[in-house]
Amino acid sequence: MNRRTALVALGGAVVGATATGAGVEVTQAATRPGPHDPLPFYGGFASAIRPDLGRPGRAGSGIVWRADRADRAVALTFDDGPRPDWTPRVLEALAAEEVPATFFVKGVNVRDHGALHKDSIGHHEIGNHTWDHPDLARLDLAACTDQITRTTEAIHAAYGILPVLFRPPYGHVGGSAVLAAAQAGLTTVFWSAQFREDRYTDHPAGIVDDVADTVHPGAIVLGHDTGPTVRLVAIDNLRGIIGRLKGMGYSFHTVSELLSGARPTPGG
């Protein structure tokens, strides 16, 4: 059996298993459809309908890329921490500039390094970034729900708060991730600008100009407080980035604050 035949056979098995009510695990394990193979109707990663066809736990929830506001307000976000390598540096820069930010944390890192944010609560915002950063677009509802629930529990245990925001790793979602976040009562937050560190490895200070060129009123800006060393371009220049934006008249907010101040603008 060549690869194509195997994929078609798997696709057929998936649909058959789903249609006859077989377990979600069968669907999950077998799902790797080719570009023209059918996706499983329910129980797989693509569907935002519950596999049991039941009523969703909540009526709905929001998905945002930016805030709809005309004033020069911005939210900086930092993903994948907390980690001892850069999280303290980011917190120091934010404190020195006296601006808040939003940290989308991994549950496993909160478990292992949660104390790094011991002074963040009430100033910075903490959002859910899954337990260990899988590609949710490939996971079914049960797996997506587990990733979100475990992380919210870790955040609550460490900081005594319940997050209201969720950021999917890589910006990847399938229907199952959308439904899992909605049922958890979380607003899904993507971004509308980001630190493009890899463009400025040869001239790191250039990232300041780049951010100044790409940020816009209501922007949600993606950054990271851990990861590959190329991202140090942004960490090393964070105060410069913030200072430039301040000079342009920007104010800094947590994502929830940015969204709560949103007002519809003509043309959106």
Taking the complex as a whole, the smallest distance from the CB of residue 218 to Zn ion amounts, in Å, to: 22
Q: Does 107 bind Zn ion (CB under 5 A)?
A: no
How near is the Cβ of 80 to Zn ion at its closest, in Å?
Answer: 4
Q: How far is the CB of 194 from Zn ion (least distance, A)?
A: 12
User: Could you give the CA distance from residue 6 to residue 181 in angstroms, rounded to a whole number?
Assistant: 33
Nearer to Zn ion, 98 or 132 (CB): 132
Residue with smaller CB distance to Zn ion, 69 or 231:
231
**67, 80, 124, 221: which one binds Zn ion (CB under 5 A):** 80
Q: Provide the H-helix boundaries in 160-205.
A: 175-183
C-alpha–C-alpha distance, residues 112 and 115, integer Å: 8
Cα separation, 105 vs 251, in Å, equals 23
Q: What is the DSSP letter of 225?
A: S
Q: Between 7 and 63, whose beta carbon lies closer to Zn ion?
A: 63
| Closest listed residue to residue 94, CA positions, set 127, 64, 53, 124 | 124
Q: Which residue, 69 or 129, is less far from Zn ion as judged by CB?
A: 129
Is 81 among the residues that bind Zn ion (CB under 5 A)?
Answer: no
**CA-based nearest residue to 268, from 69, 71, 62, 61:** 69
Other Cβ atoms closer than 10 A to 131 = 21
Letter for the amino acid at 72? R
Helix pair 87-97, 238-247: axis angle to 10 deg: 30
Choose the stretch contacting Zn ion; rule: CB under 5 A; options: 26-34, 78-86, 215-223, 236-244. Answer: 78-86
Is 224 marked active-site? yes
Mark the segment that binds Zn ion (CB under 5 A) among 21-29, 88-96, 167-175, 189-197.
167-175
The closest of 161, 154, 152, 150 to 123, measured between CA atoms, is: 161
Burial label, 71 (beta-carbon count in 10 A; 0-12, 13-18, 19+): middle
To Zn ion, the closest distance from the beta carbon of 168 in angstroms equals 9
State the residue number with the nearest CB to Zn ion: 79
The tokens of 105 are what? 């944390």
**Residue bearing tokens 């519950």:** 50
Can you tell me which of 81, 169, 175, 218 binds Zn ion, judged by CB under 5 A?
Answer: 169
Smallest separation (angstroms) from Zn ion to the CB of 258 = 20
Using CB under 5 A as the binding criterion, the count of chain residues that bind Zn ion stands at 3
Cβ 28 vs Cβ 39: under 8 Å: no
Nearer to Zn ion, 73 or 101 (CB): 101
79 near Zn ion, judged by CB under 5 A: yes
Instruction: Check 79, 80, 140, 210 and give the catalytic one.
Output: 79
Span interacting with Zn ion, options 147-155, 166-174, 176-184, 202-210, rule CB under 5 A:
166-174
Catalytic pick from 117, 124, 129, 224? Answer: 224
Q: How far is the CB of 128 from Zn ion (least distance, A)?
A: 11
Rounded-to-integer distance, Cα 252 and Cα 73, Å: 6
CB nearer to Zn ion: pick between 69 and 106 = 106
Which residues are tagged catalytic?
79, 224
Binding site for Zn ion (CB under 5 A): 79-80, 169
